Amino acid sequence: MTALALVMAASVAGCAKDRMTTGSVSRSTPAASVASMNGTELNQAANALGQAYAKQPKDKATALRYANVLQMNGNVDQSLAVMRKAAIDHPKDRGVLAAYGKALAAAGELQPALDAVRRAQTPEYPDWRLLSAEGAILDQLGQADAARALYRKALNLQPNEASILSNLGMSYLLEGDLQSAEQYMRQASQGSGADSRVRQNLALVIGLQGRFDEAEQIARQELSPDQAEANVAYLRSMMSQQNAWSQISDDNKKTRN
């Protein structure tokens, strides 16, 4: 899970200026690089991976990366279709089943997502990624206590893992406990495997507490000045609305995992 930046990242695609990169993605491109792409780059990456996937639809690595880029680009249904086929092609692969569960959750099919992730898990040899993914789905189902118990089990298996700590922070964020959310987000930003999305989520939590200058300073470390400024402006606007928490929850369901 990561996997998956919430409200602040949602505004980037519409208002960010293109960076000086090719936007191409290979099977060896780090996930963090994909996470920092803007809308134009994601489109280019989706096209390149789509061509690779068409040539080798049963290649697991290509399918996983293609589905991830599609999901980040907002093509949730297409991402789910890719992962559904991958799950058929690799029915015993825990990584594939976990990604399939995340794709189902992103599409709003929470109970099937939960079933897929649990089916992938092996009780005698639990996978921390699956525990964290299951927790994220339970959070979306409103079962925060059960979700946090799973995050803590995952942390026992993989201490200081950024993606788990970030999910734990988001669990508290959705409940409105911003101080606890910030505590875990700060740990996540310094944890193992922390990427741009984790640090942008920290900026989000800080901004939601009205500390906009601090939030923009953190965002500027990950984004261009224009992107960071646009994100904070979006956050200020959202916070002026009465349904701010509802907006956060809706965006979280679209982009988490």
Per-residue tens of pLDDT for the chain, all 257 residues:
333 333 333 323 223 222 222 233 344 444 445 665 667 788 888 999 999 999 999 999 999 999 999 988 889 999 999 999 999 999 988 889 888 998 999 899 999 999 999 988 988 889 998 999 999 999 999 999 999 999 999 999 999 999 999 999 999 998 899 999 999 999 999 988 888 788 888 998 999 998 988 988 888 887 777 777 887 787 777 777 655 555 555 555 555 55
State residue 246's pLDDT score: 55
Domains delineated in the chain: 7-255 (1.25.40.10)
Return d(Cα 239, Cα 93) in angstroms, integer. 42
Whether the Cβ atoms of residue 45 and residue 34 lie closer than 8 Å to each other: yes
State residue 109's pLDDT score: 93
State residue 243's pLDDT score: 55
Alpha helices (H) along 73-223: 76-89, 94-106, 110-120, 128-140, 144-157, 162-175, 178-189, 196-208, 212-222
Kindly report the pTM of this predicted structure: 0.73
State residue 172's pLDDT score: 95
State residue 131's pLDDT score: 94
Instruction: Tell me how many degrees the CA angle 4-61-90 measures, rounded to the nearest 5.
Output: 95
Query: Got the DSSP string for 93-122?
Result: -HHHHHHHHHHHHHTT-HHHHHHHHHHH--
State residue 173's pLDDT score: 92
State residue 139's pLDDT score: 93
State residue 34's pLDDT score: 63
Whether the Cβ atoms of residue 144 and residue 112 lie closer than 8 Å to each other: no
